[in-house]
């Protein structure tokens, strides 16, 4: 009985292989299309922070609060909308250090605000105002474009065109042509858009600003797209 079962299984396997051999392979050309669009940013997102320390937790927090209020007032004077300012980090932590064999304990109070600046020519003056208000940390700047979807769509369209041109070139080299597309896939882009810069960690010299020229550069953002397309090969 067992031998009969093995024979049946073998026959079915051979029948399956015969059917697979009879099925014609799909004639396709599969290509990858890529594109890149360069865009001049029209806004910046900065992270400005304040950090104070004292042996008293209350004193450290009150000092940080006072500077944070001055920073918020400076942002209002510079014309930054309230909706473009957000506290993204707030901390009060005990710390300790050892000096000449003596352990010193204290508290560190800190706050970070994320600010969206929509008028880039005013960026330098804004940074100066924030530092004068007491901000002693400017952690980063990220340059962005407000119409990101528009340029992503543009990059995607160019990537599809690039894929079609590549497929036609490959088919032409074989003396053939391509037909309709029957499969398309977009490859996720995990690259960082924008320029990130650590301006300073504890800027203290208020008089170092040269008002005759800008101290920041927006450059260009690169928005890329990649697609994988399969075309019929005629």
Q: Does domain 27-40+147-193+217-234 have CATH number 3.40.350.10?
A: no
Domain ranges of the chain: 27-40+147-193+217-234, 43-144
Residue 153: the pLDDT is: 95
The tokens for 129 are: 């105002």
For 122, counting Cβ atoms within 10 Å of its Cβ (0-12 exposed, 13-18 middle, 19+ buried), the class is: middle
Overall fold of domain 43-144: Alpha-Beta Plaits (3.30.70)
* Rounded CA separation 119/113 (Å): 18
Residue 101: the pLDDT is: 87
List the beta strands (DSSP E) in the chain. Answer: 28-39, 43-54, 85-99, 102-117, 137-144, 178-187, 196-197, 221-233
pLDDT per position as a tens digit, 76-91: 999 999 999 999 999 9
Residue 35: the pLDDT is: 95
pTM passes above 0.85: no
pLDDT per position as a tens digit, 20-63: 555 556 788 999 999 999 999 999 999 999 999 999 999 999 99
Average pLDDT over residues 156-185: 94
């Amino acid at each position: 009985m067992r031998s009969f079962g093995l024979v049946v299984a073998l026959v079915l396997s051979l029948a399956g292989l015969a059917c697979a051999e009879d099925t014609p392979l799909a004639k396709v050309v599969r290509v990858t299309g890529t594109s890149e669009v360069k865009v001049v940013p029209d806004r910046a997102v900065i992270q400005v922070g304040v950090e104070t320390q004292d042996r008293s937790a209350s004193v450290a927090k009150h000092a940080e609060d006072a500077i944070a209020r001055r920073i918020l007032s400076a942002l209002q004077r510079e014309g930054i909308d309230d909706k473009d300012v957000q506290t993204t980090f707030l901390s009060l932590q005990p710390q300790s250090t050892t000096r000449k064999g003596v352990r010193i304990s204290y508290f560190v109070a800190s706050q970070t605000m994320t600010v969206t600046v929509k008028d880039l020519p005013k960026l330098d003056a804004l940074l100066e105002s924030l530092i004068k208000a007491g901000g002693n940390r400017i952690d980063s700047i990220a340059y962005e474009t407000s119409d990101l979807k528009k340029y992503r769509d543009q990059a995607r369209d160019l990537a599809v065109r690039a894929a079609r041109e590549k497929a036609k070139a490959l088919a032409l080299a074989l003396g053939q042509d391509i037909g309709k597309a029957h499969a398309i896939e977009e490859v996720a882009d995990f690259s960082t858009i924008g320029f990130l810069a650590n301006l300073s960690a504890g800027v203290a010299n208020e008089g170092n600003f040269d008002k005759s020229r800008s101290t920041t550069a927006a450059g260009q953002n690169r928005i890329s797209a990649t697609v994988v397309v399969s075309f019929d090969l005629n």
